[in-house]
Structure formats: structure tokens, C-alpha cells
Chain A
Amino acid sequence: MTHWSGRTTSASFDRIHSSTEKEVQDGPDFVHIQRSPEFTELRSGLRRFVFPVTLLFFGWYIGFVVLAAYFGEFMSHRLIGFVNVGLVLGVLQFASTLLITLWYRRFAKRRIDPKTAALRASARQQSALRSHARHSSTRRSPARHSSVLREVDQ
């Protein structure tokens, strides 16, 4: 199926397509997008954030659970009045959850959303171009396909 990857120029539309390929041809070329540097950058950027952070909070949570299960004495150590280590660590779990949520929100707004918006815009442009190329050869109006991706909103 690799022949799909390079199909970006209008020249390749000269080929005769089977009916299933025609269906796809209307939409964006996903294999091409997947291999584009913009997309790989988006993907690796996202994964470089979510995978380590997942490991971080998961490890911290499991560590907390193991402490509560097997190190009761340490958790029962009193800090201020009747407030002990276990209670403080438990409340810190809440705090870390909130912090990670806000951290991800900031990250996604700055590093993810602009990239996905750009990718969507270029995909929209690509399919408009291709449908224009195809439809002008069959003498049909390209207007019908110009709003091809309108259901994907910001």
C-alpha cells in the first residue's frame, strides 16, 4: 500500500482509480500526512509529554499505595498535631493531580493546538486543490467540495 504515500501531485490523478480508492481520494491523503514532518513533530511532541508524565504520576501513585499498604508506621508518623505523613501525602496526591492537569492544559494550548490547527488547514487546502484539479478536468464546479472539512471545527 506504499504507493499511496507519494501521491501528492496532480499528475498522479491521471491514473484510473478503483471505486474504493475514489472514495478515499475525495478526502485528505492520510498516509501522506502521517509521513509529513509537521505531523511526526506533533506526534512525537505529544508523546514526549504524555508518556513521561503518565509514568511520573503512575509511579507516584503506586509508590503512595505501597507506602500505605506496607509502611504503615512511616505513614502514621505525626507531623502537626494529629496530622500524619499519610494524610499529607494523600493530600499531595490531590495537589499533584491538579498541577499535572493545569500543566497539560498549558502544554496542549501552546504546543499542540497550533500544530493541529496548521495540519488541518493544510489538509483542507490539499483536498481543495485536488478536488479542484479533478473537477476542472471533468468540468464540474469545485465549489461543492470546498467545504470538505467544515465539520472539523476549531
Chain B
Amino acid sequence: MSPDVGSPVLNVAVFALFVLVTLVIVANVNRRQATANDYFTAGGAFGGGKNGLALSGDFLSAASFLGIAGAIAIHGYDGFVYSIGFLVAWLVNLLLIAELVRNTGRFTMGDVLSYRMRARPVRAAAATSTLVISFFYMLAQMAGAGGVVALLLGVHDGKGQAVVITVVGMIMLVYVLVGGMRGTTWVQIIKAAILVLCVALMTVFLLGKFGFDISELLRQAAANNTKGERILNPGGMFGENGTSKLDFVSLALALVLGAAGLPHVLMRFYTVPNAVQARRSVIWAVGTMTVFYLATLIIGYGASALVGSQRILAATGGENSAAPLLAYEIGGTLLLGIVAAVAFATILAVVAGLTLTASASFAHDVYANIFKRGHAKPGSEVRVARLTAVAVGAMAIVGGILANGQNVAFLVGLAFAFAASANLSTLLYSLFWRRFNTNGTLWGMYGGLVSCLALVAVSPVVSGSPTSIFPWLDFAFFPLSNPGIVSIPVSFILGFLGTVLSRDKGDERKQAEMEVRSLTGITPTSS
């Protein structure tokens, strides 16, 4: 084990400053949030630019920042494909999802899916998949928190890390409970701005150090990596054999199709006033993320060049420590402190967004529309959402402590597979296919979700390999660790079969209403 780098006191101080500033903002921007509209979508009052930054804030998780930089630094080129998949995915949102979803719904994904279907079963399905996906995604973030804590605060024993995870979880809850969507959005905006600025400056500095000669940077990266020049070529992570190559394709498919099914991303299309602003949000998000993901490439190879793969792997936190170690190498304790605080803030903000989404789905889909059949008392929806947020936050803390040490990027890849399998097919069918009906929605969602869960359960992720959750058991017969390549087509096929095999022709009038509304934003006055 190499000795700790940087100063934990400074790291904590920078992080505390971030928390303090954001808490003051959260408390101040949110004087009025009695209505559900305010609490869930900030009254739909954010402009496209700000919301675009907040979208990037929601999307650029700890996995993106620490995980990808680490993967590129250690395994080379294959890590870069994460960056590409995460970015290209936004075209699905831009072209097919964002504007139509903005026009059709109010608070949750369930609003869109249940629009012209039998509302209660469809909302139940939507809420189930929202909760499952958000929980997996959250687990990935909280699992990363432990490693970050170890690296940046010098807390190495499990108990100490558990305490820090608990503190992080509680700060997150304060954001959600006090700030609602408006406060959480501001946290995302601030975090995204600092994060992108930070990686952009690091990148420019790195490039300058190598005389703006990419080839020289790559040469040194290869020279200081135990894998040598192989890190410049594909195959470093997945090139071993036919199965691992297929796994790579499966992961890539889940990455590109998952972003459009992530409930916390979908919910962010409601925080703007109309479809044009939703489109602007995505355009802004694509802009910031292009900068960010290109920077991860330079930072990853830069970490290999300046820190070296052996030192990264020897540090506490392993792969995930590549970016912080590089920051220390080029900017000393201060830059490390800033990067550390940004990493923390990232986990904090993403988990806050997830908690808000999960609680909104429970309060809006399950409580207000299934239990109360759309006649919940004013204010009670928000109260239920706050209670749910506390429960979800507690689950995130416990889950984070239990999952501490699991591979972050891998868990995120799984969450994307769930999102692509359970939500994307049904969203697209319901927006573009006239004949699609309730039966098809249920088959598509549950089919995608269940096939995904089942395939993960019998994959090497859970048993049968040294890195499994239960390494001492072996009931794995599905060879891939990412199920996307099977479960995504399964959900599309089941959604189709469920529709054509059912005699339900759907509600023609509702279909017309949804189609016109999704494209034009014309709403029925009764709403």
C-alpha cells in the first residue's frame, strides 16, 4: 500500500465548503414549494441552458468521472468506449424522447406510459421499474462512496467508511427534503459546472505539458503502463475471448439505449416550461458532455503517463484513484482537494436526484394515482413523497454500506441495462405506435425487467467466478455479465407480441389526444 497523498483536512474543508454553499442556495431558492408541481418539477420554470447543465449533473456520476478515467488509465482503449456510449446515448433522448415526453407528462415516466392505457396496472409497472432502476443506480453511486472516502479522507476501516457514507446520505436527504426539485436542480447545476470546469482545466494543462502533442501523450501513457502499447488498442478489458467480446457489445448496447430509459433523466424533462426548452436542455447537455467525455480520454491516458499504472493500482481505491492521483501529480494538494470535493459532490448530487425521482414515482404513481385514483388531497402527495424520500435515503445508506467495494462502473452498466430493457421499448411504442396497448405495455416492461433480473441472477456476476457476489456458489449458466443484448430485444418483442395477441384495440380518442399533444403541446383544458 502506498502512503496517502494529499491532506484529508483540506479535502474535507473543500467538500464542506461545497456543502455549505449549496445548502444555503437550496434553503434560499425554495421558499415556496407547497404544491406537488413545485416539489417535483420546480414548477417547470427552469430554462433550457440551466436545465441542460442540471441534466449533465444528473448524468455525470462518480462512475463517469472516476470510473472511466481509471478504466482508460489501466485498461486503455476499452474504457474509452464507455465515454462514447454515454454520449451517443443522448441522441436517442434528443431525437425520440425529450420533447415528446415533456409535452405528454407532468411528473413521472408513468404519466407518459399510462396516458392512453389502463392507468392503474401501467402505473404500477412504471413505478416498479422506476424504483428498481433507481435503486440499482443508487447502489452503484453509494458503493463508490466508500472507495472515495478511503482514498480522499484517509478513512480505511469499514466502520469509519460506514459513518462517512451515513453522513453523505443524510446531507443528500437534506437537499431533497428542504430543496425539492428546485434545490436539487441547483445542486446539479453547481456540481456540473465545477466538474466540467475542473476536468477541462486539467485537460488543457495536461495537453500543454505534452506540448499539445497527443501522440507524445500516448507514447508516455504506454511507456508507464505495465500493459505497454496494448493500452492504445482495443481489447484491454474485453478482448480475452469470444464471450468477453460479446459481453463488450452487450454493454455497449445497454449504454447507448439505457440513457433514454433512466427515470431520473426523464423526470428532468419536466423541469422546463415546454418542448422547445426540453430540446435546448438536451442540446446543452450534449455540449457539456462532449467536453467532459473527451476530457476523460486525456485524463485517463494522462494518469497512465504521469502517475503510471502500477502506482494507481497500488493506491487505496485502485482504478478509481487514477483521476485524484493525477490531480495531485499536476496540481498538488489543492487540486487534489478540489477533485476530491467534486467527486463527493457528484455522488451526493446524483443520489439526491435518484432519491427525488424514486419518491416522486411512489407518491405520484402509486399513492396519488393507484391508491387514491387521482383524488389525493392537495399537499398529501408531497408529504408522501417526503416520507418516501426518507425511506429511500435510509435504503441507500444501508445498501451503500453493504455494497461498499463493488465495482462502480459495472453496477452502473447494469442499471443502464435495466433502464434500456424495461423502459425504452414501451416508451417508444407508446409514443410512436398507434396500435400499442395496455397488454403490450405490461408485457414489455415486466418482460424486460424480469428477463434482465433473471439473466443477472444466473450470470457470473452473482456466482461461479472469483469476482462474483457469491464466489463460493456456482449456479451461473448465462455467460455474459451484462444482459442487455438479450433482455433489450426481449422487451421489444414481448411489447409487440403482448399488443398483437391481445384483442384490446386501445382508446382511439386517447391515442389521438396523446399523439397530438406529444407533438404540438396542445393540452386538454380539463387538466
Listed in ascending order, the chain A residues whose CB lies under 8 Å from chain B are 1-2, 4, 23-24, 26-28, 30-31, 33-34, 39, 42-43, 46-47, 50, 53-54, 57-58, 61-62, 64-70, 72, 75-76, 80-84, 86-87, 90-91, 93-94, 97-98, 100-101, 104-105, 108, 113, 116, 119-120, 123, 127, 145, 148-149, 151-154
Does B520 have its Cβ within 8 Å of any Cβ on chain A?
A: yes
Assuming the contacts A54-B92, A87-B77, A153-B274, asked whether A42 and B519 have C-beta atoms less than 8 A apart, the reply is yes
Chain B 265-299, CB within 8 Å of chain A: the 1/0 string?
Answer: 00000000111100100110011001001100100
Q: Is the CB of B523 within 8 A of A82?
A: no
Does B235 have its Cβ within 8 Å of any Cβ on chain A?
A: yes
CA distance A104 to B280 in the complex (A): 11
Q: Is the CB of A87 within 8 A of B91?
A: no
Q: Is the CB of A97 within 8 A of B95?
A: no
B contact face: mostly helix, strand, loop, or mixed: helix
CA distance A24 to B508 in the complex (A): 14
Assuming the contacts A4-B509, A50-B95, A83-B215, asked whether A27 and B525 have C-beta atoms less than 8 A apart, the reply is yes
Q: Is the CB of A82 within 8 A of B222?
A: yes
Does B376 have its Cβ within 8 Å of any Cβ on chain A?
A: no
**Distance between B90 CB and nearest chain A CB, rounded to angstroms:** 7
Assuming the contacts A34-B516, A68-B81, asked whether A84 and B233 have C-beta atoms less than 8 A apart, the reply is yes
**Distance between B512 CB and nearest chain A CB, rounded to angstroms:** 4
Q: Is the CB of A94 within 8 A of B512?
A: no
**Distance between B2 CB and nearest chain A CB, rounded to angstroms:** 28
**Distance between B103 CB and nearest chain A CB, rounded to angstroms:** 9
**Distance between A81 CB and nearest chain B CB, rounded to angstroms:** 3
Please give me the residue from chain B that is nearest to A60 by CB atom: B88
Q: Is the CB of B238 within 8 A of A69?
A: yes
Assuming the contacts A86-B234, A101-B283, asked whether A24 and B524 have C-beta atoms less than 8 A apart, the reply is yes
Assuming the contacts A64-B84, A86-B77, asked whether A26 and B290 have C-beta atoms less than 8 A apart, the reply is no
CA distance A149 to B222 in the complex (A): 62
CA distance A104 to B90 in the complex (A): 13
CA distance A84 to B231 in the complex (A): 12
User: What 5 pairs across the A-B complex have the smallest Cβ distances?
Assistant: A81-B215, A27-B524, A82-B218, A76-B233, A30-B513
**Distance between A32 CB and nearest chain B CB, rounded to angstroms:** 8
Q: Is the CB of B234 within 8 A of A68?
A: yes
Besides A30-B524, A87-B77, A101-B90, 16 new A-B residue pairs in contact (Cβ under 8 A), listed by A number:
A23-B526, A30-B512, A34-B516, A39-B519, A42-B520, A43-B519, A69-B239, A82-B216, A87-B218, A93-B84, A100-B94, A116-B275, A116-B520, A119-B520, A120-B520, A148-B525
A-B contact pairs, 25 of them (CB 8 A): A1-B508, A1-B509, A23-B526, A26-B525, A28-B516, A30-B522, A30-B524, A33-B522, A47-B432, A61-B256, A62-B252, A67-B234, A68-B77, A68-B78, A68-B234, A72-B233, A81-B218, A84-B232, A86-B234, A94-B87, A100-B95, A101-B283, A101-B287, A120-B522, A149-B525
Q: Is the CB of B245 within 8 A of A69?
A: yes
Please give me the residue from chain A that is nearest to B99 by CB atom: A108
**Distance between B228 CB and nearest chain A CB, rounded to angstroms:** 12
- The one of B77, B96, B222, B513 in contact with A54, judged by C-beta atoms closer than 8 angstroms, is B96
**Distance between A140 CB and nearest chain B CB, rounded to angstroms:** 16
What residues of chain A lie closer than 8 Å to B88, measured between beta carbons?
A: 57, 61, 93, 97
